[in-house]
Amino acid sequence: MDQAQALGTSYDVIVAGGGPAGLASALSFAREGWKVCVVERAPEEVLAHPSFDGREIALTHHTVQWLKDYDVWGEIDPSAVCPLQTARIESGDASEHPLLFQPPEQTDSTSVSEELALGFLVANHIIRGALYRVVSRTKGITLCCGRALTGYRVGRDHVRVTLDHHKSLVGKLLVGADGRFSRLRDMAGIGAIVHDFGRNILVCRMRHLPPHDYTALQWFDENQTIALLPVAPDGGIGDVSSLVLTLPPDDIARLRAAPDDVFNAEISKRTRERLGTLRVVSERITYPLKAVYAHRFHTDRVALIGDAAVGMHPITAHGFNLGIKGQETLVREIEAGNGDPGDRRALERFSARHRRDTFPLFAATNAIAVAYTRDEKPFLLARRAGLMLADRLTPFKKAVTRLLMDPAG
Ligand SMILES: Cc1cc2nc3c(=O)[nH]c(=O)nc-3n(C[C@H](O)[C@H](O)[C@H](O)COP(=O)(O)OP(=O)(O)OC[C@H]3O[C@@H](n4cnc5c(N)ncnc54)[C@H](O)[C@@H]3O)c2cc1C
Protein backbone atom coordinates (compact mmCIF):
# COMPACT_ATOMS: atom_id res chain seq x y z
CA MET A 1 0.00 0.00 0.00
CA ASP A 2 1.48 3.41 -0.90
CA GLN A 3 1.27 6.36 1.45
CA ALA A 4 -1.72 8.02 -0.29
CA GLN A 5 -3.73 4.79 0.08
CA ALA A 6 -2.50 4.38 3.68
CA LEU A 7 -3.78 7.84 4.55
CA GLY A 8 -7.19 7.18 3.02
CA THR A 9 -7.79 3.94 4.95
CA SER A 10 -9.25 3.49 8.41
CA TYR A 11 -7.57 1.19 10.93
CA ASP A 12 -8.36 -0.76 14.04
CA VAL A 13 -5.12 0.30 15.68
CA ILE A 14 -2.77 3.20 14.95
CA VAL A 15 0.65 2.86 16.60
CA ALA A 16 2.63 6.06 17.09
CA GLY A 17 6.33 5.12 16.96
CA GLY A 18 8.12 2.38 15.04
CA GLY A 19 10.72 1.61 17.71
CA PRO A 20 11.03 -1.93 19.15
CA ALA A 21 7.87 -1.65 21.28
CA GLY A 22 5.75 -0.16 18.50
CA LEU A 23 6.82 -2.75 15.91
CA ALA A 24 6.33 -5.62 18.38
CA SER A 25 2.80 -4.41 19.19
CA ALA A 26 1.96 -4.15 15.49
CA LEU A 27 2.90 -7.84 15.07
CA SER A 28 0.81 -8.88 18.07
CA PHE A 29 -2.26 -6.91 16.94
CA ALA A 30 -1.95 -8.13 13.34
CA ARG A 31 -1.76 -11.76 14.47
CA GLU A 32 -5.15 -11.31 16.14
CA GLY A 33 -6.56 -10.02 12.85
CA TRP A 34 -6.62 -6.28 13.62
CA LYS A 35 -5.74 -3.81 10.87
CA VAL A 36 -2.75 -1.79 12.04
CA CYS A 37 -0.92 1.33 10.86
CA VAL A 38 2.47 2.26 12.37
CA VAL A 39 3.34 5.95 12.11
CA GLU A 40 7.07 6.58 12.42
CA ARG A 41 8.72 9.94 11.97
CA ALA A 42 12.01 8.46 10.67
CA PRO A 43 12.23 7.45 7.01
CA GLU A 44 11.59 3.76 6.22
CA GLU A 45 15.26 3.40 5.20
CA VAL A 46 16.24 4.04 8.85
CA LEU A 47 13.93 1.27 10.06
CA ALA A 48 15.16 -1.13 7.40
CA HIS A 49 18.84 -0.45 8.12
CA PRO A 50 19.09 0.86 11.69
CA SER A 51 22.57 1.98 12.62
CA PHE A 52 24.52 0.82 15.68
CA ASP A 53 23.27 2.76 18.72
CA GLY A 54 25.57 1.31 21.37
CA ARG A 55 22.79 -0.51 23.27
CA GLU A 56 23.40 -4.18 23.89
CA ILE A 57 20.03 -5.47 25.01
CA ALA A 58 19.95 -8.21 27.66
CA LEU A 59 16.95 -10.31 26.68
CA THR A 60 15.15 -12.52 29.19
CA HIS A 61 14.03 -16.03 28.21
CA HIS A 62 10.46 -14.71 28.12
CA THR A 63 11.36 -12.05 25.53
CA VAL A 64 13.34 -14.56 23.44
CA GLN A 65 10.31 -16.87 23.48
CA TRP A 66 8.12 -14.00 22.25
CA LEU A 67 10.62 -13.18 19.48
CA LYS A 68 10.61 -16.87 18.47
CA ASP A 69 6.80 -17.07 18.48
CA TYR A 70 6.62 -14.08 16.12
CA ASP A 71 9.42 -15.33 13.79
CA VAL A 72 11.69 -12.43 14.74
CA TRP A 73 14.36 -14.58 16.42
CA GLY A 74 14.92 -16.44 13.14
CA GLU A 75 15.81 -13.11 11.52
CA ILE A 76 18.69 -12.62 13.97
CA ASP A 77 21.98 -14.18 12.90
CA PRO A 78 22.89 -16.64 15.71
CA SER A 79 26.47 -15.34 15.58
CA ALA A 80 25.16 -11.95 16.81
CA VAL A 81 23.69 -13.49 20.00
CA CYS A 82 25.84 -13.66 23.12
CA PRO A 83 24.54 -15.94 25.89
CA LEU A 84 24.98 -14.63 29.40
CA GLN A 85 26.34 -17.07 31.93
CA THR A 86 27.02 -14.95 34.99
CA ALA A 87 25.94 -11.56 36.27
CA ARG A 88 28.49 -10.20 38.74
CA ILE A 89 27.77 -7.15 40.87
CA GLU A 90 30.49 -5.37 42.79
CA SER A 91 30.73 -2.28 44.94
CA GLY A 92 33.82 -0.10 45.35
CA ASP A 93 37.02 -2.02 45.91
CA ALA A 94 35.30 -5.04 47.39
CA SER A 95 35.79 -7.29 44.35
CA GLU A 96 36.33 -10.20 46.74
CA HIS A 97 32.64 -10.06 47.81
CA PRO A 98 30.66 -9.84 44.57
CA LEU A 99 26.98 -10.68 44.29
CA LEU A 100 26.83 -13.46 41.70
CA PHE A 101 23.85 -14.65 39.67
CA GLN A 102 24.29 -17.92 37.80
CA PRO A 103 21.91 -20.48 36.34
CA PRO A 104 21.61 -23.51 38.64
CA GLU A 105 23.70 -26.08 36.75
CA GLN A 106 26.21 -23.92 34.91
CA THR A 107 29.80 -24.99 35.58
CA ASP A 108 31.77 -24.58 32.34
CA SER A 109 32.73 -20.98 31.52
CA THR A 110 33.95 -21.64 27.98
CA SER A 111 30.55 -22.31 26.42
CA VAL A 112 26.93 -21.82 27.43
CA SER A 113 23.92 -23.82 26.28
CA GLU A 114 20.78 -21.88 25.45
CA GLU A 115 18.61 -23.38 28.23
CA LEU A 116 21.28 -22.69 30.83
CA ALA A 117 22.00 -19.10 29.86
CA LEU A 118 20.81 -16.41 32.30
CA GLY A 119 19.74 -14.34 29.29
CA PHE A 120 21.01 -13.24 25.87
CA LEU A 121 22.72 -10.08 24.70
CA VAL A 122 21.89 -8.77 21.25
CA ALA A 123 22.65 -5.31 19.83
CA ASN A 124 19.55 -3.09 19.68
CA HIS A 125 19.98 -2.21 15.99
CA ILE A 126 19.97 -5.92 15.13
CA ILE A 127 16.72 -6.48 17.04
CA ARG A 128 15.16 -3.42 15.36
CA GLY A 129 16.23 -4.60 11.87
CA ALA A 130 14.79 -8.08 12.54
CA LEU A 131 11.47 -6.64 13.78
CA TYR A 132 11.24 -4.41 10.71
CA ARG A 133 11.78 -7.31 8.29
CA VAL A 134 8.97 -9.33 9.87
CA VAL A 135 6.64 -6.31 10.11
CA SER A 136 7.23 -5.32 6.49
CA ARG A 137 6.10 -8.74 5.22
CA THR A 138 3.15 -9.14 7.61
CA LYS A 139 -0.32 -8.76 6.12
CA GLY A 140 -2.52 -6.31 7.96
CA ILE A 141 0.30 -3.89 8.91
CA THR A 142 0.86 -0.62 7.06
CA LEU A 143 4.00 1.38 7.72
CA CYS A 144 3.62 5.12 7.41
CA CYS A 145 7.20 6.33 7.74
CA GLY A 146 8.69 9.80 7.50
CA ARG A 147 5.56 11.17 9.21
CA ALA A 148 5.25 12.47 12.76
CA LEU A 149 2.10 12.37 14.84
CA THR A 150 1.21 15.96 15.75
CA GLY A 151 -2.23 15.68 17.34
CA TYR A 152 -5.33 13.56 17.81
CA ARG A 153 -9.02 13.92 18.55
CA VAL A 154 -11.33 11.32 20.05
CA GLY A 155 -14.84 10.82 18.67
CA ARG A 156 -17.59 8.57 20.02
CA ASP A 157 -16.32 5.43 18.29
CA HIS A 158 -13.02 6.44 16.71
CA VAL A 159 -9.83 8.44 17.08
CA ARG A 160 -8.62 10.83 14.36
CA VAL A 161 -4.86 11.23 14.31
CA THR A 162 -3.18 14.25 12.75
CA LEU A 163 0.19 13.87 11.10
CA ASP A 164 2.56 16.58 9.95
CA HIS A 165 1.83 18.10 6.52
CA HIS A 166 -1.87 18.25 7.57
CA LYS A 167 -2.56 14.58 6.83
CA SER A 168 -4.78 12.48 9.06
CA LEU A 169 -5.64 8.85 9.85
CA VAL A 170 -8.67 7.31 11.50
CA GLY A 171 -8.59 4.35 13.89
CA LYS A 172 -10.28 2.84 16.93
CA LEU A 173 -7.27 2.77 19.24
CA LEU A 174 -4.15 4.93 19.32
CA VAL A 175 -1.10 3.25 20.88
CA GLY A 176 1.66 5.57 22.11
CA ALA A 177 5.02 3.88 21.52
CA ASP A 178 6.90 7.10 20.85
CA GLY A 179 9.63 6.72 23.46
CA ARG A 180 10.37 8.00 26.94
CA PHE A 181 9.87 11.68 26.04
CA SER A 182 6.53 10.75 24.43
CA ARG A 183 4.75 13.62 22.71
CA LEU A 184 1.52 11.61 22.66
CA ARG A 185 1.69 11.16 26.46
CA ASP A 186 1.83 14.98 26.79
CA MET A 187 -0.94 15.52 24.24
CA ALA A 188 -3.12 13.04 26.17
CA GLY A 189 -2.56 15.08 29.34
CA ILE A 190 -0.91 12.13 31.11
CA GLY A 191 1.80 13.25 33.52
CA ALA A 192 4.85 11.18 34.41
CA ILE A 193 7.35 10.68 37.19
CA VAL A 194 10.67 11.79 35.67
CA HIS A 195 13.70 10.83 37.69
CA ASP A 196 16.76 12.76 36.48
CA PHE A 197 19.87 11.06 37.85
CA GLY A 198 22.03 14.03 36.82
CA ARG A 199 24.39 11.66 35.02
CA ASN A 200 24.98 10.66 31.41
CA ILE A 201 25.86 7.27 29.98
CA LEU A 202 28.56 6.53 27.42
CA VAL A 203 28.35 3.24 25.54
CA CYS A 204 30.76 1.65 23.08
CA ARG A 205 32.34 -1.70 22.21
CA MET A 206 35.87 -2.43 23.41
CA ARG A 207 38.26 -5.24 22.50
CA HIS A 208 40.42 -7.05 25.08
CA LEU A 209 42.64 -10.15 25.25
CA PRO A 210 41.47 -11.86 28.46
CA PRO A 211 38.13 -13.63 27.75
CA HIS A 212 34.91 -12.15 29.12
CA ASP A 213 33.71 -15.64 30.07
CA TYR A 214 30.12 -14.64 29.17
CA THR A 215 30.02 -12.56 32.34
CA ALA A 216 28.24 -9.23 32.71
CA LEU A 217 29.90 -7.06 35.30
CA GLN A 218 28.02 -4.26 37.03
CA TRP A 219 30.45 -2.33 39.14
CA PHE A 220 29.41 0.50 41.44
CA ASP A 221 32.76 2.11 42.01
CA GLU A 222 33.38 5.37 43.87
CA ASN A 223 32.51 8.30 41.55
CA GLN A 224 31.66 6.05 38.60
CA THR A 225 29.40 3.18 37.60
CA ILE A 226 30.75 0.78 35.01
CA ALA A 227 29.13 -2.14 33.26
CA LEU A 228 31.05 -4.47 30.98
CA LEU A 229 28.70 -6.67 28.98
CA PRO A 230 29.86 -9.63 26.89
CA VAL A 231 29.42 -9.31 23.14
CA ALA A 232 29.33 -12.26 20.69
CA PRO A 233 32.73 -13.01 19.09
CA ASP A 234 33.32 -11.00 15.89
CA GLY A 235 36.18 -13.06 14.43
CA GLY A 236 38.84 -10.58 15.58
CA ILE A 237 41.63 -11.30 18.05
CA GLY A 238 40.44 -11.41 21.63
CA ASP A 239 36.93 -10.80 22.96
CA VAL A 240 34.69 -7.76 22.74
CA SER A 241 32.69 -6.25 25.59
CA SER A 242 30.28 -3.37 25.66
CA LEU A 243 31.29 -0.60 28.03
CA VAL A 244 28.46 1.26 29.79
CA LEU A 245 30.01 4.10 31.75
CA THR A 246 27.96 6.45 33.94
CA LEU A 247 29.48 9.79 34.96
CA PRO A 248 28.52 13.46 35.30
CA PRO A 249 27.64 14.99 31.88
CA ASP A 250 30.90 17.04 31.56
CA ASP A 251 33.09 13.96 32.06
CA ILE A 252 31.04 11.99 29.54
CA ALA A 253 31.32 14.82 26.97
CA ARG A 254 35.10 14.95 27.45
CA LEU A 255 35.49 11.19 27.07
CA ARG A 256 33.27 11.08 24.01
CA ALA A 257 35.49 13.64 22.26
CA ALA A 258 38.85 12.24 23.46
CA PRO A 259 41.22 10.72 20.86
CA ASP A 260 41.10 6.90 20.79
CA ASP A 261 44.46 6.40 22.56
CA VAL A 262 43.55 8.81 25.38
CA PHE A 263 40.12 7.19 25.72
CA ASN A 264 41.59 3.65 25.76
CA ALA A 265 44.16 4.58 28.41
CA GLU A 266 41.56 6.24 30.65
CA ILE A 267 39.03 3.40 30.34
CA SER A 268 41.68 0.72 30.98
CA LYS A 269 42.65 2.65 34.12
CA ARG A 270 39.05 3.20 35.22
CA THR A 271 38.37 -0.54 34.86
CA ARG A 272 41.62 -1.26 36.76
CA GLU A 273 42.70 -3.39 33.81
CA ARG A 274 40.44 -6.23 34.97
CA LEU A 275 40.11 -7.13 31.25
CA GLY A 276 43.63 -5.96 30.43
CA THR A 277 44.09 -3.05 28.04
CA LEU A 278 40.81 -2.09 26.43
CA ARG A 279 40.66 -0.81 22.84
CA VAL A 280 37.62 0.99 21.48
CA VAL A 281 36.23 -0.64 18.31
CA SER A 282 32.98 1.22 17.74
CA GLU A 283 31.44 4.65 17.75
CA ARG A 284 30.96 6.16 21.24
CA ILE A 285 27.33 7.05 21.95
CA THR A 286 25.89 8.94 24.90
CA TYR A 287 22.47 9.02 26.57
CA PRO A 288 21.02 11.21 29.35
CA LEU A 289 20.14 9.16 32.42
CA LYS A 290 16.46 9.79 33.08
CA ALA A 291 13.88 7.27 34.19
CA VAL A 292 10.22 7.91 33.39
CA TYR A 293 6.99 6.35 34.69
CA ALA A 294 3.65 7.52 33.28
CA HIS A 295 0.97 8.35 35.89
CA ARG A 296 -1.48 6.32 33.83
CA PHE A 297 -1.08 4.00 30.87
CA HIS A 298 -4.37 4.85 29.16
CA THR A 299 -7.01 7.45 28.52
CA ASP A 300 -9.94 7.56 26.04
CA ARG A 301 -8.92 5.33 23.06
CA VAL A 302 -5.24 5.82 23.89
CA ALA A 303 -2.80 3.31 25.45
CA LEU A 304 0.88 3.85 26.27
CA ILE A 305 3.47 1.07 25.88
CA GLY A 306 7.26 0.73 25.80
CA ASP A 307 9.35 3.60 27.12
CA ALA A 308 6.38 5.98 26.67
CA ALA A 309 4.79 4.07 29.58
CA VAL A 310 7.86 2.94 31.56
CA GLY A 311 11.33 4.28 30.73
CA MET A 312 13.65 2.28 32.97
CA HIS A 313 17.14 3.12 34.24
CA PRO A 314 19.23 0.64 32.17
CA ILE A 315 20.99 -0.77 35.26
CA THR A 316 18.54 -3.68 35.54
CA ALA A 317 18.37 -4.11 31.74
CA HIS A 318 14.61 -4.32 31.56
CA GLY A 319 13.25 -1.51 29.31
CA PHE A 320 12.77 -3.58 26.17
CA ASN A 321 11.75 -6.68 28.15
CA LEU A 322 8.98 -4.70 29.86
CA GLY A 323 8.05 -3.22 26.47
CA ILE A 324 7.43 -6.74 25.17
CA LYS A 325 5.40 -7.61 28.25
CA GLY A 326 3.34 -4.42 28.05
CA GLN A 327 2.24 -4.90 24.46
CA GLU A 328 1.39 -8.56 25.19
CA THR A 329 -0.81 -7.45 28.09
CA LEU A 330 -2.48 -4.77 25.98
CA VAL A 331 -3.31 -7.13 23.11
CA ARG A 332 -4.52 -9.84 25.51
CA GLU A 333 -6.89 -7.42 27.28
CA ILE A 334 -8.21 -5.97 24.00
CA GLU A 335 -8.82 -9.53 22.78
CA ALA A 336 -10.78 -10.28 25.95
CA GLY A 337 -12.80 -7.07 25.51
CA ASN A 338 -16.04 -6.18 23.74
CA GLY A 339 -14.70 -6.34 20.16
CA ASP A 340 -13.82 -2.63 20.00
CA PRO A 341 -10.02 -2.12 20.19
CA GLY A 342 -10.68 1.10 22.09
CA ASP A 343 -12.82 -0.70 24.74
CA ARG A 344 -12.46 1.44 27.89
CA ARG A 345 -12.72 -1.52 30.31
CA ALA A 346 -10.02 -3.44 28.44
CA LEU A 347 -7.74 -0.40 28.58
CA GLU A 348 -8.35 -0.06 32.33
CA ARG A 349 -7.44 -3.71 32.89
CA PHE A 350 -4.31 -3.30 30.75
CA SER A 351 -3.27 -0.24 32.76
CA ALA A 352 -3.77 -1.97 36.10
CA ARG A 353 -1.94 -5.17 35.05
CA HIS A 354 0.97 -3.34 33.48
CA ARG A 355 1.36 -1.21 36.61
CA ARG A 356 1.49 -4.36 38.75
CA ASP A 357 4.05 -5.91 36.39
CA THR A 358 6.31 -2.86 36.28
CA PHE A 359 6.09 -0.63 39.32
CA PRO A 360 7.96 -2.81 41.85
CA LEU A 361 10.87 -3.25 39.42
CA PHE A 362 10.86 0.45 38.46
CA ALA A 363 10.95 1.54 42.11
CA ALA A 364 13.58 -1.03 43.10
CA THR A 365 15.76 -0.12 40.13
CA ASN A 366 15.69 3.58 41.00
CA ALA A 367 16.41 2.83 44.66
CA ILE A 368 19.43 0.71 43.68
CA ALA A 369 20.61 3.35 41.21
CA VAL A 370 20.44 6.08 43.87
CA ALA A 371 21.94 4.04 46.72
CA TYR A 372 24.75 2.79 44.54
CA THR A 373 25.77 6.13 43.11
CA ARG A 374 26.05 8.03 46.42
CA ASP A 375 29.67 7.98 47.52
CA GLU A 376 29.42 9.12 51.15
CA LYS A 377 31.05 6.61 53.51
CA PRO A 378 27.83 5.22 55.10
CA PHE A 379 26.45 4.45 51.62
CA LEU A 380 29.70 2.70 50.61
CA LEU A 381 29.73 0.52 53.73
CA ALA A 382 26.01 -0.22 53.55
CA ARG A 383 26.13 -1.34 49.94
CA ARG A 384 29.13 -3.59 50.47
CA ALA A 385 27.34 -5.21 53.38
CA GLY A 386 24.19 -5.35 51.25
CA LEU A 387 25.94 -7.23 48.45
CA MET A 388 27.49 -9.73 50.86
CA LEU A 389 24.13 -10.31 52.50
CA ALA A 390 22.29 -10.60 49.18
CA ASP A 391 24.87 -13.10 47.93
CA ARG A 392 24.12 -15.33 50.91
CA LEU A 393 20.34 -15.02 50.52
CA THR A 394 19.63 -18.05 48.37
CA PRO A 395 15.86 -17.34 47.96
CA PHE A 396 16.62 -13.79 46.78
CA LYS A 397 19.15 -15.02 44.22
CA LYS A 398 16.79 -17.75 43.04
CA ALA A 399 13.97 -15.20 42.58
CA VAL A 400 16.13 -12.87 40.46
CA THR A 401 17.45 -15.78 38.39
CA ARG A 402 13.89 -16.99 37.82
CA LEU A 403 12.86 -13.48 36.68
CA LEU A 404 15.49 -13.70 33.94
CA MET A 405 15.14 -17.35 32.98
CA ASP A 406 11.42 -18.18 33.15
CA PRO A 407 10.10 -18.29 29.54
CA ALA A 408 6.54 -17.90 30.85
CA GLY A 409 7.63 -15.07 33.18
C1 LIG B 1 22.33 2.30 27.18
C2 LIG B 1 21.03 1.55 27.20
C3 LIG B 1 21.05 0.18 27.45
C4 LIG B 1 19.85 -0.53 27.49
N5 LIG B 1 19.88 -1.86 27.78
C6 LIG B 1 18.75 -2.59 27.86
C7 LIG B 1 18.77 -3.97 28.17
O8 LIG B 1 19.81 -4.56 28.39
N9 LIG B 1 17.57 -4.66 28.23
C10 LIG B 1 16.38 -4.04 27.97
O11 LIG B 1 15.34 -4.71 28.04
N12 LIG B 1 16.33 -2.72 27.68
C13 LIG B 1 17.48 -1.97 27.62
N14 LIG B 1 17.43 -0.64 27.31
C15 LIG B 1 16.11 -0.01 27.08
C16 LIG B 1 15.61 -0.20 25.65
O17 LIG B 1 16.59 0.20 24.72
C18 LIG B 1 14.34 0.63 25.50
O19 LIG B 1 13.44 0.27 26.52
C20 LIG B 1 13.63 0.39 24.17
O21 LIG B 1 14.48 0.69 23.09
C22 LIG B 1 12.41 1.29 24.07
O23 LIG B 1 11.73 1.04 22.88
P24 LIG B 1 10.49 1.94 22.47
O25 LIG B 1 10.02 1.39 21.16
O26 LIG B 1 9.54 2.07 23.59
O27 LIG B 1 11.08 3.42 22.30
P28 LIG B 1 12.12 4.01 21.26
O29 LIG B 1 13.17 3.02 20.92
O30 LIG B 1 12.54 5.33 21.83
O31 LIG B 1 11.27 4.26 19.93
C32 LIG B 1 10.36 5.33 19.82
C33 LIG B 1 10.08 5.56 18.32
O34 LIG B 1 9.06 6.54 18.19
C35 LIG B 1 9.39 7.43 17.14
N36 LIG B 1 8.67 8.70 17.40
C37 LIG B 1 8.88 9.58 18.41
N38 LIG B 1 8.02 10.60 18.35
C39 LIG B 1 7.21 10.35 17.27
C40 LIG B 1 6.11 11.03 16.69
N41 LIG B 1 5.63 12.19 17.21
N42 LIG B 1 5.52 10.51 15.59
C43 LIG B 1 5.98 9.34 15.06
N44 LIG B 1 7.02 8.65 15.57
C45 LIG B 1 7.62 9.14 16.67
C46 LIG B 1 10.90 7.54 17.22
O47 LIG B 1 11.46 7.98 15.98
C48 LIG B 1 11.29 6.10 17.56
O49 LIG B 1 11.49 5.31 16.41
C50 LIG B 1 18.61 0.12 27.27
C51 LIG B 1 18.59 1.51 27.02
C52 LIG B 1 19.79 2.21 26.99
C53 LIG B 1 19.76 3.70 26.73
Over residues 362-385, the pLDDT tens digits come to 988 887 777 666 666 666 666 666
Ligand 1 atom showing the smallest separation from residue 39 Cα? 43
Q: Which of 15, 39, 41 to mutate for ligand 1's pocket (most ligand atoms within 8 Å of CB)?
A: 41
CA of residue 181 to ligand 1 center, whole Å: 10
Round to the nearest angstrom and report the end-to-end CA distance of the chain. Answer: 37
Domains plus CATH for the chain? 3-82+120-193+291-369 (3.50.50.60)
CA of residue 17 to ligand 1 center, whole Å: 9
In this structure, which residue's CA is closest to atom 15 in ligand 1? Answer: 319
In this structure, which residue's CA is closest to atom 9 in ligand 1? Answer: 317
Residues whose CB is less than 8 angstroms from the CB of residue 129 and which lie 6 or more positions away in sequence, other chains included: 48, 49, 50, 75
Q: How many CB atoms lie within 10 A of CB 378?
A: 8
pLDDT at residue 267, as a whole number: 98
Q: Which of 55, 143, 203, 310 to mutate for ligand 1's pocket (most ligand atoms within 8 Å of CB)?
A: 55
- Whether 52 is in the pocket of ligand 1, judged by its Cβ within 6 Å, is no
Q: Which of 25, 56, 57 to mutate for ligand 1's pocket (most ligand atoms within 8 Å of CB)?
A: 57
Q: What average pLDDT does this structure show over 125-132? A: 98
Grade residue 115 by pLDDT with cuts at 50, 70 and 90.
confident
For the chain, percent of residues with pLDDT exceeding 90: 72
Main-chain phi, psi angles of 343, to 5 degrees: -50, 120
* CB 174 within 8 Å of CB 14: yes
- Whether 319 is in the pocket of ligand 1, judged by its Cβ within 6 Å, is yes
Q: How many CB atoms lie within 10 A of CB 338?
A: 11
- Whether 18 is in the pocket of ligand 1, judged by its Cβ within 6 Å, is yes
Q: What is the average pLDDT value for the chain, to the nearest integer?
A: 90
In this structure, which residue's CA is closest to atom 37 in ligand 1? Answer: 178
Q: Give the pLDDT confidence of 161-216 residue by residue, as tens digits.
A: 999 987 899 999 999 999 999 999 999 999 999 999 899 999 999 999 999 999 99
Grade residue 51 by pLDDT with cuts at 50, 70 and 90.
very high
CA of residue 106 to ligand 1 center, whole Å: 32
